[in-house]
Structure 1
Amino acid sequence: MIGSLTLDQLRVLVAIEDTGSFSAAGRRLLRVQSAISHTIQALEASQGVQLFDRSQRKPSFTPAGQTLVRQARQVLRQAEVFELTARAISAGLEPELAIAVDSFVPTPALMRALAELQQTYPDLMVTLFTEGLGAAQRRVRDGSTTLGICALLPSTLQDVQATELTQVTLVPVVAPSHPLASEARPLTRDILAEHVQLILTDPQQLPGPQFSVVSPRVWRFVDIARRLEFLLAGFGWCTMPLHLVQAHLDHGRLKRLEIDDPAVLPGSFGLYAIHDRHRPLGLGARALLASLQRQPWLGTP
């Protein structure tokens, strides 16, 4: 009950509109017509509003009644959502699921997994963070997100549980206007070191060894999309996930570098779903994790 208002009164009001009469509403709700009339009279008295015009043989909605029956439907829908959500939370569904995703994560597979989650738990609220290198792991460790989808950095702590989703192919690329694109010599480490390398960096990572950095001349980026823009403009060279640059390679906007010693740069990295092993996952997180594992991340579904 909300003040003197009850959900039962609203159900009766909506049933009258749905069925077209007091008697039909009574049949739907398995009540005698007099009980329906009494409920509506009590509702009108408690709210101080005439909902029906009774000047004719068959009562009809007043303008106020037409407005309030629409609001009654909304209240009943919200009450149903409230009950369903309460039952789901009682069964282990988290009220909200926060996810942190590295900026290079393939969007189509992520969206398919989230669509499955939405279909299974339509009232589950989701917050999605897309940030730079290292942010997903930090958010999982500090508890601000439940799941992270990211590449694992060497600094990953042991309290993170990681599930591999796929391997992401890396390719060294450069803009056609860049000097390396027309270099006739085999591209050795020394030649690469003569040119600016565009690298991704974690702005909060502690000082330490740098991985996959060949050149002493580097430009650092937090956002991979921004780095791609500078790459296309010819500011330097870098390795990029193949799925992010395939279209640029196909249309000649980028050129793949043929490196003399492929071991100089990694050919791929693992994409992982991570969570804090000390925090139990709710129903939503478990369902999403299972869906993420089923996805064809870099292929056609």
Structure 2
Amino acid sequence: MIDPLSLDQLRVFVAIADQGSFSAAARHLRRAQSAVSNAIINLEGALGVALFDRSGWKPQLTTDGHALLIDARAVLARVDQFKSRALGLTQGLEAELSVVLDVMFPTARLVALVTRFRQAFPGVALRLCIDVLGGVPQRVLAGEYDLGVQGSLPDIAPELASQALAEIALVPVAAPTHPLASQGRIPIQALSEHTQIVLTDHSGRTEGRTFSVFSEKRILTADLGSKRAMLCAGLGWGFMPRTFVEEDLGAGQLIELNLAERQPRSRSMPLFAIHRCDTPLGPAGQWALDWLVSSPGDGPGKGQGATAL
């Protein structure tokens, strides 16, 4: 039996939903509008449901259409991944794999990745870079790096394929001598009265935006090591990956602040492995991606450009 559904019909369905009309979808797909209309008619006939309400001047997704659009996107994403992996295998093993990671990515996980990678691909050179906020996707989009781990910036560019990784726990900290260290249940207003040490983005992709920044008094840095040093020196307070300051907390060099309010974004940071949709990963790159997806995280935390955390 020949399945009446086709991937082409699903791509047309998604294109209409994204572009807002049959004519716009036709232009986007470089097809005749009649071909687009016929594809949807055939898809609706095969499914037995109406995907669009055509009673108005502009087609609107029906309730069934909204529900099935999610599945259509998922199917196409898996097919694209399947094709990308097959193409990568035909291209042979890479001579070099380049990976750019968000500054928040745990050092222990990076060491584990490099260790396993060298065991699996001893003949492939591994080139690493650490960046922050928009710097990671910018380097991948520019083709400078094959694979990226994006964290500080929550937005994924449409040109990038992404897979969610284990989140990293965040903790608000300050030196024991800092005025906030001795306070219990610190309100947001109190945070705004003290200097916050935050990461800043020089890529230009997030200009004018802030993430989990509560104070107008700020010290900006693009380096996590310098941020930790300034926190330990009592120059301000800020959020840090728990694994990065675990020893400082144990030694009493930093104190975990007891904030009265904690938004999800300030408790843990989602990470995403990213690569260009139009550039398939080779065998080594796909292996690194699979390892990143399957590696465990540390879980959620306890109780001029953009700046973040």
TM-score range, shorter chain: 0.5 to 0.7
Within 5 Å, give how 1:117-196 maps onto structure 2.
117-151=117-151, 153-183=153-183, 186-196=185-195
Task: Read off the aligned partner of 2:208 and give its amino acid letter.
Answer: G
Separation in structure 2 between the aligned mates of residue 239 and residue 166 of structure 1, nearest angstrom: 18
> Is contact 1:101-1:149 (8 Å) kept?
yes
Q: Is the 8 A contact 1:110 1:292 kept in 2?
A: no
Indicate the residue corresponding to 1:199 in structure 2. 198
Q: 2-side partners of 1:104 and 1:227: how far apart?
A: 12
Q: 2:262 aligns to what? A: 262
What amino acid is the match of 2:202?
A: P
Preserved contact between residue 195 and residue 237 of structure 2 (Cα < 8 Å): yes
Residue 95 of structure 2 aligns with an amino acid whose one-letter code is P
Gaps of 5+ in 1: 1-87
CA apart distance, 1:251? 1.2
Partner of residue 291, structure 1 = 291
Paired-residue identity, %: 33
Deviation at 1:265, TM superposition (A): 6.3
Deviant stretches of 4+, over 3 Å: 88-91
Q: Note closer, same or farther for the CA distance 1:231–1:124 as it changes in structure 2 (3 Å cut).
A: same
Q: What count of residue pairs does the alignment treat as equivalent?
A: 211
Structure 1 residues 114 and 170: CA distance shift in structure 2, 3 A: same
The match for 1:232 is: 232
Q: Match for 1:281: what amino acid?
A: L
Which residue of structure 2 lines up, in the alignment, with residue 57 of structure 1? none
Out of 289-298 and 134-143, give the one that drifted further: 289-298
Change (3 A) 1:119 1:265: closer
How far apart in 1 are the matches of 2:115 and 2:269?
26
Instruction: Tell me by how many angstroms 1:296 deviates.
Output: 2.6
Instruction: State the AA in 2 paired with 1:187.
Output: I
| CA contact 1:106–1:298 (8 Å) conserved in 2 | no
Aligned to 1:101: 101
Give the counterpart letter for 2:246 in structure 1.
Q
| Change in CA separation of 1:93 and 1:232 when aligned onto 2, cut-off 3 Å | same
Contact 1:165 1:292 in 2 (8 A): yes
Residues 81-101 of structure 1 deviation map (CA, whole Å, 9 limit, x = unaligned): xxxxxxx99752122111111
Q: CA deviation at 1:249?
A: 0.9
Map 1:17-36 → 2, pairs under 5 A:
none
Cα 1:153–1:140 shift into 2, 3 Å: same
Structure 1: distance between partners of 2:124 and 2:219? 41
Partner of 1:266, secondary structure, is helix
SS at match of 1:207: coil
How far 1:263 moved relative to its partner?
Answer: 3.1
Separation of aligned partners in 1, 2:265 and 2:280:
37
Matched-pair contact (CA < 8 Å) for 1:102–1:136: yes
Residues 1:211 and 1:136: Cα distance change in structure 2 (over 3 Å): same
TM-score (norm 2): 0.63
